[in-house]
Structure 1
Amino acid sequence: MAACRFRRSIAAQLSRILEMPPENLVKSICAVPVTKKGQAADFQFFVSSVIDANSSDDSRPDIQLQTQRLAKELKCDAVVSEINTGEGTVNFTINRELLAKTVLQQVFEDGSQYGIKSELFSGLPKRKILIEFSSPNIAKKFHVGHLRSTIIGNYIANLSEAIGHHVTRMNYLGDWGMQFGLLGAGFQRFGSEEKLKSNPLQHLFEVYVQVNKASEEDENIKKLAQDFFRKLEAHEEQAVSLWQHFRDVSIEEYIRTYKRLGVCFDEYSGESFYQEKSQEILKMLDSKGLLKKTKEGTGIVYLSEKGSPLAVMRSDGTSLYLTRDLAAAIDRMDKCNPDTMIYVTDKSQISHFQQVFQILKLLGYEWTERCQHVPFGRVQGMKTRKGEVVFLEDVLDEACSMVLEKSASAKTTKECEDPLETAERIGLAALIVQDFKGLLSSDYQFSWDRVLQSRGDTGVFLQYTHARLHSLEEMCGRIDQVSHMNPACLQDPQAISLIQHLLRYDEILCQSSQDHQPKHIVNYLLKLSHLAAAAHKMLPVKGSVPELAEARLCLFQAVRSILANGMKLLGITPVNRM
């Protein structure tokens, strides 16, 4: 990769002076972020990275002195045209024509692998990663609360696969527990087979609301619910048959929603799979002397001497959510043996997963260290224009219809082959970018006005930029190779800024893969789109002399390629017209 070539060249020179292996220096050489101040150096080396980590704070002023000494010993060559110092950094400017030629050549050669074919990933062992995400509750419409888990899990899976890991995408359905006792009892009283066929999840939702309300007024309904759940746990045919029907119609409807989101799963699992195995967990806890019982017969576990007890079994012997999660973790490790097992759920479940991991440790499972919880915050204020309770399908429909409305009133709208599909992709991009701009653990306030702006830092702006650059290629022709391109034609400040930004892509992917934060990629793509907009305005292709037009077209094509690659990692399908 282009950035790698330049880093290696700089590292080789530093290596001779610092008497350190060049491979130990490469990761301390970073591409300089593009700022509004204009052109700066291309790379900077952080001198503090090679100073003894144990040195006291009193010796910190020496870093600047050592930085200046080091800069004096370094020499410009065919690759580096200028060397100067910053605060604790030695800054390197690459030969301008070499920079343009090398970066664009690399983008064209690597295609979708640009940024991934980097030495930042080369030493990375390829791992088996199991990611559990989405996990809606069956017999309920897909709520917006599950949207974040779905798109975050999909992004982590996309990026992990892109850098070469083997990923299993698992959807762990909430398909067991006392709520199904309540739903089963409710359906027997309020349900309609006819309504179940015509609009299954809507009808089950209505039944659930009805039976919940009834159970508050009638204790007998609670007893019927407990009785139905006991029958389920005892595998009584009639109860299991009804529950299976609920599960099947739910998954059918979910698959339609996942198709709209562009998400797929390798495996559908569920709590129901672990009803029997959870009994084995209870036996294991008992055999290790960890299981205690209350006077009422509830099974409990103490995680520490002074800690509060955790319930792991109901007094009637039926399993709990916690017990089923323990059984699921052990079963997955036995069957798949992943190097990493990631759970993507909202932050209200942080303590739940801490408890799961602690109990697994108490049971002696050393692989617990490989388990990881990626928590995320809540979305506030996500409603349709009618202000209704929000289900995901309503939100996707709303985004699509609002995009169509805006397109109809816009003067620059191009004719699309499939306006509905285009609007769906733009709407989904808007939802994803709004969600991914901040830290995943943060709550955020949803706003339709903000999310669908075409000029702000939004998914609509990313799609608009991609479509605009694609239109440029259609109008002026695609470039297949850059060998004939004259890099001297790409020395304008706007062109250099774009090329410098392309240099940073591998570092952004690396950072995002380490902390699972999509905001790095989102902010990178938004910056790329703003730089592309400025360059598009100042560096016309049409009407320029052929040599200049070809060079600029090469640059814009490279930008569109990276923009498309990054969007796909986020779960966004780029549009070519809008």
Structure 2
Amino acid sequence: MYEQKQSIASLVADRLGVAADDVWMAIEYPPDPRLGDLALPCFRFAKTLRKAPPAIAADAAEVLRQSGLFARVDVAGGYVNVTLRRGPVAAGVIDQAQRDVAALFSRRRHTGRRAAVDYSSPNIAKPFGVGHLRSTMIGQSICRLLAADGFEVVGINHLGDWGTQFGKNIVAYLKWGDEETVRRDPVKELFRLYVRFHEEAKDKPELEDEARAWFKRLEDGDEEATRLWKWFIAESLKAFEQTYRRLGVRFDHYLGESFYNDKMDAVVDELRQRGLLTESEGAEVVDLSAWNMPPCIIRKSDGATIYATRDLAAALYRHDVLGATDLIYVVGAEQKLHFAQVFKVLELMGRDWAAHCHHIAFGMMKYNGERLSTRRGKVVYLEEVLERAVQEARAIIEEKNPGLPDKDRVAETVGIGAVVFNDLKNNRLHDVDFRWEDVLNFDGETGPYVQYTHARACSVLRRAEAEGVPVTSPPVLADEALADSEWQLVHQLAQSNESLERAVDGFDPSVMARHVLDVCHAFNRFYHDAPILGAEDDLRAFRLALTDATRRVLAHGLYLLGLEAPEAM
């Protein structure tokens, strides 16, 4: 609806003497389609224009009627209700989707900007649990949404590959592990040893001293400690890569915490030169009390740097070396204060680009209502979740469509789509309670439902091809020739651009998930209400083109969410 809203905004702005952007922002969709296709509430202009909203609405309606661009323009109190010319609008929307569906979604507002997106970021030697799905898939979708809106995107996996945990890993491995067992199943075995360390340390606190001593050796470059540390990383990455490939996730850089070890002294030196460091109980901190935040600890009393120092070094690297204009961090909501402190310190360091640093918080992943904890061994392995979902999809295919070609590939696509969509359809700030009965429910507002709707549209087009009926550009029909179900589907397709821009502006893939669901609902109503191949001439050509446009919009929407779009199910 971008062009139609633009026309209304331009005409009304000229008539009323207000900003076109203000008019654009005010335009909304009426709650009842019988009122019209678009509505302009005029209440916000009353104070500026010193007129009653109904009088403003009457002026706006008059100029819209005079333009001849709209089928009908009505005034209801302080509202202007606009009914569009169905035939030309429908033909334009469908033709755009057929020619370049990406352009239907995006005006590429951010061309020329580069976004560094930090997401997934699992800890080495710990399992890729179902809780990691949130950062990984929200981050992957945000990368695709930003790229669709014009950003050049740099995806970064900020691996947890440093810290005292590695002292614990080394101690546990040397006491209770063996190389062959670790190589067979590295992450699970290293995790088992890590959990055992914490259990044993309850009665043997001296283990904690051993772990600290081994991490100190690692920091000092000890050959044996370094060998084991590098081995843990290599084996963990092999396992992580298997999961990433299955999810269709890729990164431009794997830059773990250890990458910044030689870059933090420069940060501390600059903070000191700028007079930003103060001493607090032996530690060096940046005082943020003026902004109602606790001090940002830069160097602890024992001289060690911590997460804030490392994240400052990482931010400077991403901006100065990788050339990012925007820094995006897809990290859980519990880190809200940490990133607020880091961004404020960057600002105090004179980095005006700190205004383009964004913490994309998300809610917690629970399992049957309980919080997951790797330290206590309470983890649900993501690989097991994906495999179970794929097997469930395979069983449903065998039951409902046993002759389907390439069943294993479709089962993989649908099973993983079910898990991913179940997460992304939720507002990212909400907690997600992982329950098998929800994830593996293939009915209702689910990934398989969207994928099946896409496959249904593909099936119609295949039948048309088999009958020798070509899919062409849409003819322009008379307004009255379009059934309500056809028009409502066009109406949904036309909102693709607004949905993408809201998803980008809010860094929230659930907006796009909602859009593809709405398109599916509208298409399925149209599919049941309006004969497609059995229609006459121009109407058949129009409906086939509409089906083709829907297929393209659903495929692109699924891509933006990180899902595949099977052509048969």
Q: Report the TM-score, using the length of structure 2 for normalisation.
A: 0.90
Counterpart residue number, 1:419: 407
Distance 1:308 1:541, change over 3 A: closer
Q: Paired residue for 1:499? A: 490
Instruction: Tell me the CA shift for residue 17 of structure 1.
Output: 2.6
**What is residue 152 of structure 2 aligned with on the other side?**
166
Give deviations 1:405-429, integer Å, cap 9, x for gaps: 233333xx26333322212221222
- Check if 1:333 corresponds to 2:319: yes
Q: Which deviates more from structure 2 when the two are superposed, residues 559-568 or residues 438-447?
A: 438-447
What is the correspondence of 1:173-322 to structure 2 with a 5 Å cutoff? 173-291=159-277, 298-304=283-289, 308-322=294-308
Within 5 Å, give how 1:395-410 maps onto structure 2. Answer: 395-410=385-400
CA contact (8 A) 2:116 2:154 kept: yes
Structure 2 residue 37 is matched with structure 1 residue 45: no
User: Which range moved further: 361-370 or 266-275?
Assistant: 361-370
**Per-residue displacement from partner, 1:488-511 (whole Å, max 9, x unpaired)?**
695111111111222222111111
Cα 1:236–1:29 shift into 2, 3 Å? same
Distance 2:475 2:336 in 1: 56
Over 3 Å counting, the alpha-carbon distance change for 1:163 and 1:464 in structure 2 is same
Correspondence for 1:137 among 119, 123, 126: 123
Judged with a 3 Å threshold, the aligned counterparts in structure 2 of structure 1 residues 86 and 491 are, in CA distance, closer, same or farther, namely: same
Supply the distance in 1 between the matched residues of 2:9 and 2:559 (Cα, whole angstroms): 33
**What is the CA–CA distance in structure 2 between the aligned matches of 1:87 and 1:414, rounded to whole Å?**
58
**1:82 paired to 2:68:** no
Distance 2:77 2:226 in 1: 69
The alignment covers a number of residue pairs equal to: 559
CA–CA distance in 2 between the matches of 1:365 and 1:12?
38
Query: Residues 64 and 446 from structure 1, CA distance in 2 versus in 1: closer, same or farther, beyond 3 angstroms?
Result: farther
Aligned AA (1:146): H
Partner of 1:456: 444
1:205–1:8 Cα change, 3 Å: closer
Aligned with 1:428 (options 402, 416, 420): 416
Q: CA deviation at 1:283?
A: 3.5
1:375 maps to what in 2?
A: 361
| 1:367 CA drift (Å) | 2.7
Amino acid at match of 1:482: S
Any idea what the Cα deviations from partners look like across 1:493-542, whole Å, max 9, x if unmatched? 11111112222221111111111122221112111111111111111223
Say whether 1:32 aligns with 2:34: no
Partner residue, 1:93? 83
- Give the direction of change, closer, same or farther, for the CA distance of 1:224–1:509 in structure 2 (3 Å limit): same
Does the 8 A contact of 1:452 with 1:458 survive in 2?
A: no
- The answer on whether the counterparts of 1:426 and 1:463 sit within 8 Å (CA) in structure 2 is yes
Letter in 2 for 1:193: E
Distance (whole Å) between structure 2 residues aligned to residue 484 and residue 309 of structure 1: 65
AA in 2 matched with 1:32 = Y
> Partners in 1 of 2:267 and 2:9 — Cα distance?
54
How far apart, in 2, do the equivalents of 1:29 and 1:290 lie? 45
- CA deviations on 1:343-395 (whole Å, 9 max, x unpaired) are 001111111112222333344433322211010001222699xx983011111
- Return the alpha-carbon distance in structure 1 between the equivalents of residues 420 and 332 of structure 2: 16
Unpaired runs of at least 5, structure 2: 371-376
Contact conserved, 2:15 with 2:59, CA < 8 A, in 1? no
- Secondary structure at 1:548 match in 2: helix
User: Which residue identity is paired with 2:444?
Assistant: G
Amino acid at match of 1:253: A
Any conservation in 1 of the 2:2–2:497 contact (CA below 8 Å)?
no
Per the alignment, residue 499 of structure 2 pairs with: 508
Report the residue type matching 1:224 in the other structure. E
Structure 1 unmatched ranges of 5 or more: none
Q: Is the 8 A contact 2:91 2:475 kept in 1?
A: no
211 and 298 in structure 1: CA distance in 2 versus 1, 3 angstrom threshold: farther
- The percent identity for this pair of structures is 31
The residue number in structure 1 matching 2:566 is 575
Q: How big is the shift at 1:29?
A: 6.8
For 2:297 and 2:14, the matched residues in 1 are separated by: 63
TM superposition shift of 1:271 = 0.7
Segment drifting more, 188-197 vs 342-351: 188-197
Question: Which amino acid is the alignment partner of residue 8 of structure 2?
Answer: I
Mean Cα deviation higher: 327-336 or 445-454: 445-454
Q: TM-score, normalised by structure 1?
A: 0.89
Query: How far is the alpha carbon of 1:162 from its aligned partner?
Result: 0.9
- 1:343 and 2:329 matched: yes
Q: Which moves more between the two structures, 547-556 or 160-169?
A: 547-556
Change (3 A) 1:156 1:88: farther
Q: Distance in 2 between matches of 1:304 and 1:388?
A: 38
Task: Using the TM superposition, name which of 549-558 and 37-46 deviates more.
Answer: 37-46
Distance 1:24 1:383 in 2: 45
Which residue of structure 1 lines up, in the alignment, with residue 374 of structure 2? Answer: none
CA contact (8 A) 2:121 2:159 kept: yes
Q: What one-letter code is carried by the residue in structure 2 that aligns with 1:544?
A: A
- Residue 325 of structure 1 aligns to a residue whose secondary structure is helix
Q: Deviations over 1:139-168 (max 9, x none)?
A: 112122211001111111101111111110
The question of whether the paired residues in 1 share the 8 Å contact of 2:46 and 2:52 is answered with: no
For 1:104 and 1:418, locate their aligned partners in 2 and report how far apart those are by CA, in whole Å: 31
- SS across alignment from 1:338: coil
Report if the CA contact (8 A) 2:126-2:191 is conserved: yes
CA contact (8 A) 2:96 2:103 kept: no
SS of the residue 2:298 aligns to: strand
Q: CA, structure 1 residues 72+38, in 2 after alignment: closer, same or farther (shift >3 Å)? A: closer
> What CA distance in whole angstroms lies between the structure 1 residues aligned with 2:156 and 2:321?
13
Q: Secondary structure at the match of 1:130?
A: strand
C-alpha change, 1:388 and 1:359, in structure 2 (3 Å) is: closer
* Secondary structure at the counterpart of residue 376 of structure 1: coil
Amino acid at match of 1:374: I
Instruction: Tell me how far apart the structure 1 counterparts of residues 496 and 557 of structure 2 sit (CA, whole Å).
Output: 9
In structure 1, the partner of 2:459 is 471
CA change 1:513–1:49 in 2 (3 A) is farther
